[in-house]
Structure 1
Amino acid sequence: MIDLRSDTATRPTAGMRAAIAGAEVGDEQRREDPTVNELQERAAALLGHEAALFLPTATLANQIALKLHSRPGDVLVAERYAHVVIYEYGGAAAHAGLMVETIEGRQGRFGVDELEAVTVPSTKSADQRPAVLAVENTHNSSGGRCWPLADLEAVTTAAREREMRVHLDGARLMNASVAAGVRAAQIAGLFDTVTLCLSKGLGCPLGALLAGSTETIERAWREKHLFGGAMRQAGIVAAAGVYALEHNIDRLSEDHARAHRLAEGWHAAGLPVDLDQVETNFVQLDVGALGFDRDEALARLREAGVGLSSTIHPTVIRAVTHLDLDDDAIDRAIDLAPQALGARVAA
């Protein structure tokens, strides 16, 4: 099967496997694993922060950040379809006791006016307070869309004027950085904390990083233990992260180019693809325009040997390019998907 379901489908390359096999390890809980320490130092520098913490997953990194920036009963502000709102199983409420106030975004983004509308200061000191703004870049549910740097600067400044902390869910931050031609530190440096996932486009088998100030990350260490996320000889997996930061960032442009070629090929074949929406490694298809429901379309594609996945939107499915796909796979997907859905493609 041509696996376009997600960039989480990537498998370690031969070079990454060699790095894993040769990793120098120690006791990560005691902060004695040299490979973990190296990864954390490299990530902090990449993201423009003082320190970073290696964690098993990006969801865990997000949840720790939200807890550090708030107190139970405070308010988390985020875009309606942000990952922290719809894909983290109510973690903000369960772990940090946060209420959630959402903003109806456009392509996953919003402006200062929308932020200010949901963060009107209360006249009562005992009322719940908007404590933390979470921004997702790239934005998964909007099809891997990127935030312009000027817009991020505006909303983070406005949030701080409201005495809010700001967190970047940058699970696919490196895709945004490469697509925009902007250093990751320029984006991440606008935030108090930032999450970076290693197991998506960067191709690692697992892992994520949380970056912030030295004081914040020192507090995050305790939360890592409380959540059960501390590890032992974690250098084996951290070595994959070090390899990815050295070898798999610049090549994300190849994934983006293949996503554009896939979108253009499907559009030319009559499939409902919005070419303006393709900014990174996502291509979305609104199969409702073809008269299919989501499950039927996915089943037809799977039978044809092309794996796509569902989204939060009832009639929208997605393809995600990644390092396990070459040009031949994209060419075959361009041919096979219209054939699978061709019975209802308009002439």
Structure 2
Amino acid sequence: MIIDLRSDTVTKPTPEMLNAMINAEVGDDVYKEDPTVNALEERIATMFGKESALFFPSGSMANQAAIKLHTQPGEQLIADKYAHVFNYEGGGVSFNSGVSCKLIDGHRGMITADQVQESINPPDFYHSPLTSLVCIENTTNKGGGACYDFEEIVKIRKVCNDHNLGYHLDGARLWNALVAKKEQAIQYGEMFDTISVCLSKGLGAPMGSVLVGDQKIMEQAIRVRKVLGGGMRQIGYMAAAGLYAVENHLDRLQEDHKRANEIGKILEGISFVINVEPIDTNIVIFTIEGDEEDFISKMASKNIHFYSMGQGKLRFVTHLDYTQKMHEYFIELLQSL
């Protein structure tokens, strides 16, 4: 039994999802003639109360397209220092949009309205980049699956309104936040100009993200997707997986959260574990004494696989393919350390 806790991206389609994929009706999506893609886009746009949605092959491409829609070369976006758009998208902010990042030292990847206010460059001071966009991430990946307080999101929206800034949400794991905080997608649609949501993490689809927004901001999205190489043909087979995931795998995310919390409690009782960060959703980040690579290697010899995040931090991520049987075995193993 191999237990892969490296990421929630490692899942494989369930038999039911595969069946939905096999039976999907498809067409050429570059011509917007794929009925299953169109249905997925309409479903997610409706969930968020937005006028438009567009299916992307990856979350990074969806985020990069959103940044391009909001900005002009030479401008600047505001984000937390842990932001995925800065750390894990290959420098795409500068490569694709010619935009720089003003990074905020937030808390577990989350920033406040006051910090955003302080980070806006004076628009009439032409020596500094023009601030045009605020990007936040919910849940935060590098922040250990932390969830924003929705009231802070509302406060940041007001700052954006006051300064005519775009507001983008990297919602790769927003589904986890919605379940953990008992919130609704429509609340987020009311706050953000654009939102990207991922289908291939917690929901278990093999690929795909969707970018949503109102018609005006999304008018050029399909052109930007084409420029980035994201035009796809009979992609309805993958959209069918995403539709199945949205309809069947949302509520079960609470199982991942419960197992992550149980793992965290066991880690807190292990003598060589120095610290376990707060666990809001399905990500467990902890620090150990001693050689972390040696610990990773020893656990791999017992068929437990996970990553180091650097600076002494290790990470477990629970997901759809991490079953109760695996969880019981893993808990027993941790208790024996």
Q: C-alpha deviations, 1:106-131, integer Å up to 9, x for none?
A: 12112122112211414335752111
CA-CA distance at 1:187 after TM superposition: 2.2
**Equivalent residue for 2:305?**
307
Is contact 1:144–1:282 with CA below 8 Å preserved after alignment?
yes
Instruction: Write the letter of the residue equivalent to 2:136.
Output: V
Q: Residue 331 of structure 2 is aligned with which of 329, 334, 342?
A: 334
CA deviation digits over 1:268-308, x for unaligned, max 9? 34463756610100111212xx2223x23222221122111
Give the % identical residues.
38
How far apart, in 2, do the equivalents of 1:225 and 1:99 lie?
Answer: 23
Report the AA paired with residue 200 of structure 1.
K
Q: Secondary structure at the match of 1:121?
A: coil
After superposition, where does 1:1-347 map in structure 2 within 5 Å? 1-125=2-126, 127-270=128-271, 272=273, 277-287=278-288, 290-293=289-292, 295-311=293-309, 313-337=310-334, 339=336, 342=337
Q: Which amino acid aligns with 1:302?
A: A
- Aligned residues of 2:121 and 2:128 also touching (Cα < 8 A): no
Residues 331, 267 of structure 1: CA spacing in aligned structure 2 closer, same or farther, 3 A cutoff?
farther
How far 1:59 moved relative to its partner? 0.2
TM-score w.r.t. length of structure 1: 0.93
For residues 168 and 182 of structure 1, the distance between their equivalents in structure 2, rounded to whole angstroms, comes to: 15
Aligned alpha-carbon RMSD (Å): 1.6
SS at structure 1 position matched to 2:103: strand
Moved more, 71-80 or 39-48: 39-48
- Tell me: CA distance 1:113–1:52, structure 2 relative to 1, closer, same or farther (3 Å): same
Q: What amino acid sits opposite 1:24 in the alignment? A: E
Q: Could you tell me which amino acid in structure 2 is paired with residue 307 of structure 1?
A: H
1:273–1:221 distance in 2 versus 1, CA, 3 Å: farther
Q: CA separation in 2, counterparts of 1:193 and 1:142?
A: 22
Which secondary structure state, in structure 2, belongs to the residue aligned with residue 140 of structure 1? Answer: coil
Whole-Å Cα distance in 1 between the matches of residues 296 and 83 of structure 2? Answer: 24
TM-score normalised per structure 2: 0.96
C-alpha change, 1:276 and 1:291, in structure 2 (3 Å) is: closer
Contact 2:276 2:286 in 1 (8 A): no
Residue aligned with 1:304, SS: coil
Tell me, yes or no, if the aligned pair for 2:277 and 2:284 is still in contact at 8 Å: no
Q: 1:116 to 1:40 in 2, by over 3 A?
A: same
Secondary structure in 2 matching 1:9 = coil
Distance 2:68 2:130 in 1: 14
1:80 shift after superposition = 0.2
CA distance in 1, matches of 2:277, 2:312: 19
Which secondary structure state, in structure 2, belongs to the residue aligned with residue 19 of structure 1?
helix
SS state at 1:324 partner? coil
Other structure's SS at 1:215 match: helix
Tell me: CA distance 1:183–1:271, structure 2 relative to 1, closer, same or farther (3 Å): farther
Distance 2:217 2:117 in 1: 26
The residue type equivalent to 1:146 in the other structure is: C
Secondary structure of the corresponding residue to residue 141 of structure 1: coil
**For 1:107 and 1:81, how far apart are their aligned partners in 2?**
8
Task: Provide runs of 4+ in structure 1 moved above 4 Å.
Answer: 273-276
